[in-house]
Structure 1
């Protein structure tokens, strides 16, 4: 999913140390994650993205389920990623290029679809504390779509008692990146117009 000079390289690594043989109850934790996902209709936050080389970018994230997302990068990064409910669009304003692919072909599908069968495709990753729940999601029949490991932190006043702390993603080309979220807010009104984008490609005039 590399595109132009920048990319949202959508991987399996937990954001916390894993502990084998933990006594934590996996079914109960998965139930709590599913409850959280179903309780969230919208989410806004700031994000920091770190790629496999250690490079970092920041920006603002808007999410509206099902299928709508907007990654708006810092001002000096001419890149925009928008999900319109059906497809993800990556727009590189520097080189005036646009690329689209079905949401279902991206690891982000696990995040954007509240009806995603996490119990079928997700696996609890043991963590070093009961306050963190980590879920790795992969479709074994479609490994080319990559893996996303979502990390949730217990928070009493958040939907389902959890808040999304971030995720690590690995795409089909083994491009890995980590997304960390901050200032997360849930279920505020986000207009559909937030998930539109301006096409930078020159208009072809008919001769």
Structure 2
């Protein structure tokens, strides 16, 4: 059976009815920017849940700028890799490869530490003062979708934050949720971790 995968690797925010004060929003965004700039690599376990409530698990490797690898649980023949330029989905079951520019996905908010969150991001109110939620979207490119990143305040973590996960919503309102665990920052990750084997048959010359 082929596993379908949403292009937008998307932990729901705990919404509050009252809006936060502007000064607090600005401070939290600055803290998120500081965190993003302080993180060069990250590895974690993840649980990905689609709009139908079906979940997959796996391992995440991230190396900024522009590199990420989502390696799924045993028995799931999918691999998602970004090599600094393109985001590639490899389906080994049907021997299919799909590629698209990283900048066309909300994942660029994770992969580019220089992403202008002041321009593309806004803080979303939460009911927990230790949770910082930031929604990232390009109003000029609604087809790229929306990504809401969830951070937990944690002393000793880069910028005082740990990424807990995110929710991605594509232009058709398809939601994908990713929750992270065992997050570790700034440990060495080999560049070869972002290579992949092409399953497509070679053309005979």
Using the size of structure 1 for normalisation, the TM-score is 0.94
Gaps of 5+ in 1: none
Equivalent residue number for residue 124 of structure 1: 123
Match status 1:146 vs 2:153? no
Contact 2:41 2:188 in 1 (8 A): yes
For residues 10-54 of structure 1, what are the alpha-carbon distances to aligned partners after superposition, in whole Å with 9 as ceiling and x for unaligned?
189843233323347100010000000000000000000011100
164 and 33 in structure 1: CA distance in 2 versus 1, 3 angstrom threshold: same
9 and 176 in structure 1: CA distance in 2 versus 1, 3 angstrom threshold: farther
Contact 1:47 1:58 in 2 (8 A): yes
Equivalent residue number for residue 174 of structure 1: 173
Q: How many residue pairs were aligned?
A: 203
For residues 74-105 of structure 1, what are the alpha-carbon distances to aligned partners after superposition, in whole Å with 9 as ceiling and x for unaligned?
01100000000000000000000000000000
Runs of 4+ in 1 over 3 A off after TM superposition: 11-14
Deviates more, 1:166-175 or 1:155-164: 166-175
Contact 1:71 1:82 in 2 (8 A): yes
Equivalent residue number for residue 19 of structure 1: 17
Equivalent position SS for 1:140: coil
Gaps of 5+ in 2: none
Equivalent residue number for residue 110 of structure 1: 109
Given candidates 7, 10, 15, the residue that maps to 2:8 is 10
11 and 192 in structure 1: CA distance in 2 versus 1, 3 angstrom threshold: closer
Deviates more, 1:122-131 or 1:14-23: 14-23
Contact 1:12 1:136 in 2 (8 A): no
Using the size of structure 2 for normalisation, the TM-score is 0.95
CA distance in 2, matches of 1:166, 1:12: 8
CA distance in 1, matches of 2:16, 2:111: 26
CA distance in 2, matches of 1:13, 1:39: 22
Match status 1:64 vs 2:63? yes
**RMSD between superposed Cα atoms in Å:** 1.6
